[in-house]
Amino acid sequence: MRRKASLVLLACAVLCAALAPLLRWYAFPRLARIPANQYQDMVLEARGATLLDYGTMRAKKVSGVTIVQTLKGDVDAAKRIERTAGRPVVVWDSLSYVQGPDGKMVSKVPERYIFDAHSQDPVHATGEMVDGDPVTRQGIEFKWPFLTQKRDYEYFDAQTRTTNPIHYKGTRTFRGLKVYYFEQAIPWTKVPMPKTMPIQGITPESVANTGTTRWYSTVRRFWVEPVTGAPVYGEELHKEELRGGTLLGGRDRVTAFAGDVKMREDYIEHTVALVKHNRTLVLMLTSYVPWGSLTAGALLLALSLCLEARARRPQDPAPTEPAEPEPVSA
C-alpha cells in the first residue's frame, strides 16, 4: 500500500515540477497577449494651454484643451494579417481627438497600429498608417512589452512619423505600484499638417500653398508598470508652431498649441486599478504558479521518497512466545 502511494506521489511531484518551466517559458508567451478585441479610451487634459485662434491667426491662452484618445482592436483585420504574418497580431485603430475649451474640434488624427500580441514588435501590413499616410513603424507605441526591462526602448512618434529612443530614467512608486519611468524628447521638427483642419474650407494643401509650415516638439513621459508593460500615467509637454509663409502676416512664427498634457484623474485611478488586476494575472503565469508548483513538486518528491524508504525498511521480527516446555518423561 505504501509503495503504491509513493508512486502516485512521485507522479504528482514530476507533474508539478514539470509545470513550472512549461508555464513560464511555453504557456506565458502563448497566453499573455493583448486581446484582439480591446477597446479602450483615455482622456488627457492640458490646463492653461496656448491655442491658435484660426480666425485672427493669433495664439491665445485658453482654460484648457482636452484630448480624447480611443484604441479599438479590429479582430477581422488581425485574423487576416495573422494568416500571412504567422504570429498573433493585434490591429489597433486609434483616434486622437483634440477639443478646445468651447467644445470645438482642434484636430483629429487617426492611426492604424499593427503589432505582435505578445512581444509588442511592430508588424508591417497594408493599412498601417498615421492620419492617412502609410508608415512603417519601428519600435513600440502606446504600450511596452510584458516584463518591461530597465533599458531604453525605441518609441514611435506619430507626429514626426519617426522612431527615436525613449530613455529609462529610473524606478519609481506610483500609487502603490512599482513603475519604470521613461522619457523621450523630440526636438523641433517640421511635421505634416493634419488632414482634418479645425476651420472648414482650409485644407493642408491650401495652407501649404501659402508657404506656412507646421513644426512640433515634445517631451513625453511615461510611468510604466513593468510586469504588464502598461503605462499607468503619462504626460507630454507638447508644443506646435506655424512658421513662415503668407498666412502669418509677416510674422516669423506663431504658437499653434502649447500645453502640459496630463491624464485626467478618474482615468488615472481606472488605469491603476486595471493594471493592478492584470498584473496579478501575468504574475500567476510568470511567478506565482511556477514557483508554487516547483515547491509543491519538491515536497511531494520528499514525501514519496519517505514513503518508499519506509516500505523498504525490513519488518521488525514478531515477538516470539516462549515455547512451552515439553513434558519430560523420566
User: Does 202 participate in binding other proteins (rule CB under 8 A)?
Assistant: no
For the chain, the residue count is: 330
Dist. CA 208–CA 191, nearest whole Å? 12
Residue placing its CB nearer to other proteins in the complex, 208 or 296? 296
User: Does 303 participate in binding other proteins (rule CB under 8 A)?
Assistant: no
User: Does 158 participate in binding other proteins (rule CB under 8 A)?
Assistant: no
By CB under 8 A, the count of residues binding other proteins is 47
Shortest CB 266 distance to other proteins, Å = 6
User: Does 18 participate in binding other proteins (rule CB under 8 A)?
Assistant: yes
User: Does 11 participate in binding other proteins (rule CB under 8 A)?
Assistant: yes
- Helix (H) / strand (E) containing 8: helix 2-21
Out of 50, 70, 162, 203, point to the residue binding other proteins (CB under 8 A). 70
Shortest CB 210 distance to other proteins, Å = 28
- Part in contact with other proteins (CB under 8 A); list of ranges 11-19, 181-189, 199-207, 213-221: 11-19
Dist. CA 60–CA 40, nearest whole Å? 32
Dist. CA 278–CA 267, nearest whole Å? 16
Shortest CB 220 distance to other proteins, Å = 21
- Part in contact with other proteins (CB under 8 A); list of ranges 17-25, 133-141, 170-178, 204-212: 17-25
Out of 62, 73, 123, 224, point to the residue binding other proteins (CB under 8 A). 73
- Widest CA span in the chain: 149
Shortest CB 12 distance to other proteins, Å = 6
What's the sign of the alpha-carbon dihedral 106, 272, 170, 35?
negative
What's the sign of the alpha-carbon dihedral 76, 80, 83, 89?
negative
Give the per-residue SS3 of 262-300: EECHHHHHHHHHHHHHHHHHHHHHHHHHHHHHHHHHHHH
What letter represents residue 127's amino acid? G
Angle CA 112–272–63, to nearest 5: 75
Out of 78, 109, 123, 158, point to the residue binding other proteins (CB under 8 A). 78
User: Does 37 participate in binding other proteins (rule CB under 8 A)?
Assistant: yes
Q: Are 66 and 98 in contact (CB under 8 A)?
A: yes
Which stretches of the chain bind other proteins, using CB under 8 A? Answer: 3, 7-8, 10-16, 18-19, 22-23, 26-27, 30-31, 33, 35-37, 39, 41, 43, 66, 68, 70, 72-76, 78-79, 93-95, 97, 99, 105, 108, 110, 266-267, 270-271
